[in-house]
Structure 1
Amino acid sequence: MDQEEVWAFTVAMYGRDGVAKLCLELQDRCGLDVNMLLFMFYLGQKGLAPHSVNALEEAVRDWRDNVIIPLRQTRRFLRDEPRKAAQDLRQKVKADELQAERIEQHILCDAVKPMPSNDPYAAARAYLSPNRFDLEQNDCDQAVDRLITLMGFVAA
């Protein structure tokens, strides 16, 4: 899997109006991994789905828990710190967090065992499901449908 293509897709989709806001709401509300969700959308746009979402979760769990989440917590902690030096540090942590997320995508690219899929949103729906998160099925469906629209895709 082309890691640069995956990253370019992620950055482009995350940058679309409303996508980041909705993804971050889901991240804060139920612990969703934004990278994982966007990776699932990428696979779907390629006509693929992962053989196992659980295997992908396992592949990135330690990296996410021990690197990305602590960096995010540090960045958020520094957000309200008034000292210029602290804000300079926050910008460095933010850049490190972004690099860590890119590495997570590399891990996903290396770990995925893709299989053909006729539904471009099957992978995203499999990931964003009540089986994985403390959300109702309707909330999951609405979030995926809203992301499809915000990303400029056509509903299946």
Structure 2
Amino acid sequence: MPNLDLWTFALNCYAREGVETACLELQSQGADVCVLICAAWLEARGVARNQERMCVLEEVAAPWRHIVVEPLRELRQAWRSPAEQDEALRELRKTLKTLELQAERSLLERLQTASREWDESADANQWLSALAPKGSCRVALETLRNAAYQTQLELAGV
């Protein structure tokens, strides 16, 4: 299958029924949704998983997540209630949401760059299960996995 860019894959996958809810559930359990979407992308493409590759993804994601994405998300969430009563704050919160999405896009681009040379393999195995927090909801992981495969097929024109 063609090597589709991760951002396009992420947008199309996330738009599928049930994926947003599944991702939010996994995020509430401590998952990095960008890493999981990358994992779903790699899994759907048939890229072999190994410990070294999983470590590379986490080494790329962790600093950006801690320094950029999480502070934006925390501030946006902290402003949720006060923004209901304050129009100026509501507009600033929308701006924060846009910045958070831009930060996530940048992270996905970094993950794609880090995994660019990883080829498809006959021995590809389950990235999502390996990278999800222990005890993650199996239904949420399967929702994301199924959406990823359908997205990959759709975007590849199959």
- TM-score band w.r.t. shorter chain: 0.7 to 0.9
Give 5+ residue unaligned stretches, structure 1.
none
Bigger CA drift: 34-43 or 3-12? Answer: 3-12
2:141 counterpart residue number: 144
Bigger CA drift: 141-150 or 83-92? Answer: 141-150
**Aligned pairs, number:** 144
Cα distance, 1:148 vs structure 2: 3.0
**TM-score, normalised via structure 1 length:** 0.80
Q: SS of 2:67's equivalent?
A: helix
Matched residue type, 1:16: R
2:67 counterpart residue number: 66
Structure showing the higher helix proportion among its residues: 2
Give 5+ residue unaligned stretches, structure 2.
151-158
Kept in 1: contact 2:19–2:147 (CA 8 A): yes
**TM-score, normalised via structure 2 length:** 0.79
Cα distance, 1:63 vs structure 2: 0.6
2:22 counterpart residue number: 22
| Cα distance in 2 between the residues matched to 1:105 and 1:114 | 15
Kept in 1: contact 2:5–2:112 (CA 8 A): no
Identity of aligned residues (%): 33
1:100 counterpart residue number: 103
| Cα distance in 2 between the residues matched to 1:79 and 1:22 | 21
Kept in 2: contact 1:59–1:108 (CA 8 A): yes
RMSD: 2.4
Matched residue type, 2:47: L
Q: Does 1:32 align with 2:36?
A: no
Cα distance, 1:149 vs structure 2: 3.7
Kept in 1: contact 2:47–2:121 (CA 8 A): yes
| Cα distance in 2 between the residues matched to 1:59 and 1:75 | 24
